[in-house]
């Protein structure tokens, strides 16, 4: 959202398109989450009706309402988009060069099931008109002046109660909504609007006044009427109204479905609903007239919609507050930009922090047209910037200057406004941060390069992009990143994802003008394919956990076997034959026993006792006690054969190995010696660990860090950096029951590292591990942007 200026009122009116766009941003930001925000409250109300046994509503009626509410929840994303489009359409209609006449709007019939819904919307609009009449009267006068500056005829207030009711009704035009749910929907919509409309109207009045579209003084009622007549005359609006009969349940199908086309008839019934408190009948092209807000009846107007003259002083109301996070982000951005400007020898052509002397600021529509012109151009310059050969924001400005020159605008004579500078820099920093925080290949770089200008246009016209997690362009950004990050195209499924993401990015470039529907449509298409990818990632995680578990069990068995073997090799001295058998076949037999039977004491004791029996046989041989040795070996023969069989030897090979063992024990004076323990075998993950774990161990972990990491469960996310400084989001996918080590996987389910809690704590102490991770690629990239700007702001402060 654009932050309103605090420099006071403008003596010369600001570009009316920019003022109207700022008000549009205010409205969309305050109301963007509707209607889904009050679904939980409606659910609670329906549950209370069921629990209370309300005699007015049978269980069947409540069940139907609950079922319909469930359907609305499933369609929530589409409803939010349609609601936003309905509000935006009001602003688009307002700035038409000629107000739409009723004869230009095709008429149709409303489905009977929707009539009550439309009537409820009319009643809601009348109620809100009555409640906010003073603010609406003042805003109507100012919007008439703004319409004159646009060269348009006075039209319906784009943020008036009638327009807001229309947008709400149109949102649900395709839904079958029972009476109980309809009542609750309008009840909670009215509550939601009641909490924000007063402040919103004050903020819109303040924006109009600051832009130079305020009234010269606080007028009394006759003065207001005279001013309204003058505005109407200057705009070419008709004079006194003539009574026109209501048209019943007819509808204007182009955005006016189900609202009466009565053009200001006093006393019109619901079907011929006229705008109260100066609001026009929806779909009708009325005439300037008067109305009484207190009575809720009035004469429909085609423009200012003046009420009974009770207008307040101009410029009333507070500045529209912006989200604290966006305010802070913009402040840091300004500090960062100032720091970069201090380092530069001279300003770039076509750039400004707003209001460069001798240069004209580009209007928003001009800048959007320039971006649209360059949108279809090859994006090589952006790809090179993302590869690190320059700043992306600078490349964006260069391209916009090139486009300005093509349209006949001299880049030396124009500049960007402060708001436009913010949008350009934020998009540039966002894409730069994306490539620092994600594993993206060259193909992905070209794909994102194509998307730079479409996202610049979104940021210029709708800064909800940086505020709302459900913004369509933001969701598509996350979906594309999910599809391509770490995707090398090694499998047919991965190549299909890359191809689909590429085609979607090309479609956005080709089709995006200023309608966000293309982002919503593209996201739905890509997300359907990503659902399969997410299931494959889950399976990949499961396979990684099973493989790691198997490796851990094998390493554990080897360690246990080597410990037992080392004790037998260290004393007493052994003949080479016995030592070789113990280090080979018997050790393998121990490992297999541990793997098959775990800690089954009986099996393990039997396997270990075989080694002790062989050591005893070697002692008998050393002492020359041949008869006892023969009896001892005959008793051991079945167990030795079993041991050899576990190594995969067949009967013949086992007999041969047994013969060699006996041959080595025949001679009492065979030299005997002590043998070292078996050497440590190289682990499969040694290379992996050397990438992430510092062998020098210079950092020391705090006990609190160890305990914090130990408390994390499987499924927790971490942000880790390797020894080269490359960052990665990793999830704890599995905790070893043997070693208590943690298996970390990336967003594609591939193994990254297996480490103990203590090793992870050392990484945290070294600043290479943070608990938690932004859930989406957009939020993760924005977190990098905030950190970069925060550091810059801190250095400027110092």
Q: What pLDDT is recorded for position 523?
A: 93
Q: Which domain holds residue 478?
A: 324-351+361-539
**Residue 262 sits in the same domain as residue 387:** no
**Residue 454 sits in the same domain as residue 372:** yes
Taken in order 93, 98, 101, 104, the sign of the CA dihedral is: negative
In a domain, 20, yes or no: yes
**Residue 64 sits in the same domain as residue 212:** yes
Backbone angles phi and psi of 395, in degrees to 5 = -65, -35
Residue whose entry in the numeric block shows the structure tokens 């499969």: 684
In a domain, 82, yes or no: yes
Q: What pLDDT is recorded for position 616?
A: 92
Closest listed residue to residue 668, CA positions, set 615, 613, 623: 623
Instruction: Report long-range pairs for 546-554 (Cβ below 8 Å, ≥24 apart).
Output: 547/751, 548/734, 548/736, 548/743, 548/751, 548/754, 549/734, 549/736, 551/684, 551/685, 552/736, 552/738, 552/739, 552/741, 553/595, 553/738, 554/591, 554/595
- Is residue 459 within 8 A of residue 27, CB to CB? The reply is no
Q: What pLDDT is recorded for position 243?
A: 34
Number of domains in the chain: 4
Q: What pLDDT is recorded for position 763?
A: 92
Q: What pLDDT is recorded for position 706?
A: 92
The pairing of beta strand 360-361 with beta strand 414-415 = parallel
In a domain, 223, yes or no: yes
What's CA 116's distance to the chain center, in Å? 37
Burial class from Cβ neighbours inside 10 Å (0-12, 13-18, 19+) for residue 292 reads middle
pLDDT tens for residues 670-690? 888 888 888 877 676 778 888
Residue whose entry in the numeric block shows the structure tokens 């349209």: 407
Q: What pLDDT is recorded for position 218?
A: 40
- Is residue 399 within 8 A of residue 452, CB to CB? The reply is no
In a domain, 675, yes or no: no
**Residue 386 sits in the same domain as residue 328:** yes
Residues in the chain with pLDDT values less than 70: 1-12, 32, 53-55, 96-114, 214-324, 340-357, 599-600, 682, 684, 697, 793-798
Rounded distance, CA 66 to CA 404, Å? 55
**Residue 135 sits in the same domain as residue 270:** yes
In a domain, 270, yes or no: yes
Burial class from Cβ neighbours inside 10 Å (0-12, 13-18, 19+) for residue 48 reads exposed
Rounded distance, CA 109 to CA 522, Å? 33
**Residue 294 sits in the same domain as residue 347:** no
Closest listed residue to residue 302, CA positions, set 424, 155, 185, 189: 155
Neighbours of 604 (CB within 10 A): 17
In a domain, 766, yes or no: yes
Q: What pLDDT is recorded for position 356?
A: 56
Model-level pTM? 0.53
| CA-based end-to-end distance of the chain | 30
Structure tokens at 166: 């229309």
**For residue 732, what are the β-bridge partners?**
744
Structure tokens at 483: 């599809």
Structure tokens at 680: 């440590």
Rg of the Cα atoms in the chain:
38
**Residue 652 sits in the same domain as residue 705:** no
**Residue 329 sits in the same domain as residue 271:** no
**Residue 522 sits in the same domain as residue 579:** no
In a domain, 559, yes or no: no
Q: What pLDDT is recorded for position 112?
A: 55
Closest listed residue to residue 66, CA positions, set 51, 78, 82: 51
**For residue 256, what are the β-bridge partners?**
252
Structure tokens at 410: 């001299």
Backbone angles phi and psi of 721, in degrees to 5 = -125, 140
Rounded distance, CA 226 to CA 293, Å? 19
Structure tokens at 425: 């820099």
**Residue 344 sits in the same domain as residue 294:** no
């Amino acid at each position: 959202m654009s932050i309103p200026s605090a420099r006071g009122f403008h003596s010369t009116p600001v570009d009316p398109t920019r003022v109207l766009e700022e008000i549009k941003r205010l409205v969309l930001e305050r109301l963007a989450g509707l209607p889904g925000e009050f679904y939980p409250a409606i659910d609670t109300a329906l549950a209370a009706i069921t629990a209370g046994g309300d005699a007015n509503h049978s269980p069947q009626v409540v069940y139907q309402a609950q079922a319909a509410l469930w359907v609305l929840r499933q369609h929530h994303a589409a409803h939010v988009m349609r609601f936003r489009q309905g509000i935006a359409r009001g602003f688009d209609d307002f700035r038409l060069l000629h107000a739409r006449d009723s004869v230009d709007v095709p008429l149709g019939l409303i489905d009977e099931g929707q009539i009550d819904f439309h009537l409820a919307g009319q009643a809601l609009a009348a109620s809100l008109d009555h409640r906010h009449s003073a603010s609406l009267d003042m805003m109507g006068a100012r919007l008439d002046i703004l319409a004159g500056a646009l060269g348009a005829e006075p039209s319906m207030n784009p943020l008036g109660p009638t327009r807001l009711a229309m947008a709400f009704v149109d949102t649900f035009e395709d839904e079958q909504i029972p009476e109980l749910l309809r009542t609750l929907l309008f009840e909670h919509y009215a509550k939601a609007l009641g909490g924000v409309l007063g402040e919103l109207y004050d903020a819109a009045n303040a924006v109009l006044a600051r832009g130079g579209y305020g009234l010269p003084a606080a007028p009394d009622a006759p003065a207001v009427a005279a001013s309204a007549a003058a505005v109407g005359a200057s705009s070419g609006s008709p004079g006194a109204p003539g009574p026109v009969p209501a048209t019943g349940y007819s509808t204007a199908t182009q955005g006016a479905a189900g609202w009466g086309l009565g053009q200001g008839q006093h006393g019109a019934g619901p079907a011929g609903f006229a705008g109260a408190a100066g609001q026009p009948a929806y779909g009708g092209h009325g005439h300037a007239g008067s109305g009484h807000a207190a009575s809720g009846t009035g004469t429909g107007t085609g423009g200012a919609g003046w009420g009974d003259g009770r207008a307040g002083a101009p410029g009333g109301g507070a500045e529209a507050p912006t989200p604290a996070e966006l305010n802070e982000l913009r402040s840091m951005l300004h500090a960062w930009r100032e720091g970069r400007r201090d380092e530069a020898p001279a300003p770039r052509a076509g750039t400004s922090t707003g209001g460069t002397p001798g240069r004209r600021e580009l209007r928003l529509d001009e800048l959007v047209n320039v971006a649209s012109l360059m949108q279809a151009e090859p994006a090589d310059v952006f790809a090179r910037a993302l590869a690190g050969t320059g700043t992306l924001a600078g490349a964006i400005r260069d391209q916009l200057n090139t486009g300005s020159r093509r349209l006949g605008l001299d880049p030396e004579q124009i500049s960007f406004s402060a708001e436009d500078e913010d949008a350009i820099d934020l998009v540039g920093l966002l894409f730069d941060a994306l490539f620092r925080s994600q594993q993206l290949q060259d193909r992905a770089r070209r794909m994102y390069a194509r998307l730079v200008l479409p996202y610049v246009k979104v940021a210029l016209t709708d800064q909800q992009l940086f505020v709302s997690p459900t913004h369509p362009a933001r969701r598509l950004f996350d979906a594309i990143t999910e599809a391509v990050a770490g995707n090398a195209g090694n499998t047919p499924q991965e190549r299909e994802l890359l191809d689909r993401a590429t085609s979607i990015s090309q479609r956005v470039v080709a089709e995006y003008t200023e309608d966000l529907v293309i982002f919503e449509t593209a996201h739905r298409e890509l997300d359907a394919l990503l659902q399969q990818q997410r299931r494959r990632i889950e399976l990949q995680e499961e396979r990684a956990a099973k493989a790691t578990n198997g490796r851990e069990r094998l390493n554990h068995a080897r360690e246990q076997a080597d410990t037992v073997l080392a004790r037998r090799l260290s004393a007493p001295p052994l003949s080479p034959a016995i030592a070789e058998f113990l280090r080979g076949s018997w050790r393998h037999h121990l490992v297999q026993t541990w793997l098959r039977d775990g800690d089954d004491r009986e099996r393990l004791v039997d396997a270990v006792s075989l080694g002790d029996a062989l050591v005893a046989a070697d002692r008998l041989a050393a002492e020359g006690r041949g008869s006892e040795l023969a009896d001892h070996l005959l008793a051991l023969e079945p167990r030795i054969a079993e041991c050899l069989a576990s190594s995969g030897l067949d009967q013949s090979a086992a007999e041969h190995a047994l013969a060699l063992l006996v041959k080595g024990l025949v001679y009492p004076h065979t030299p005997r010696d002590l043998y070292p323990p078996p050497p440590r075998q190289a682990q499969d993950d040694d290379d992996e660990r050397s990438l992430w774990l510092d062998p020098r161990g210079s950092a020391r972990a705090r006990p609190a860090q160890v305990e914090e990491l130990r408390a994390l469960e499987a499924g927790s996310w971490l942000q880790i950096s390797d020894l080269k400084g490359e960052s990665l989001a990793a999830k704890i996918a599995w905790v070893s029951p043997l070693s208590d080590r943690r298996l970390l996987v990336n967003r594609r389910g591939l193994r990254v590292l297996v480490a103990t809690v203590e090793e992870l704590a050392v990484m945290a102490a070294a600043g290479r591990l943070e608990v938690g991770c932004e859930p989406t690629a957009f939020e993760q990239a924005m977190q990098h942007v905030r950190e970069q700007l925060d550091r810059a702001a801190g250095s400027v402060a110092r």
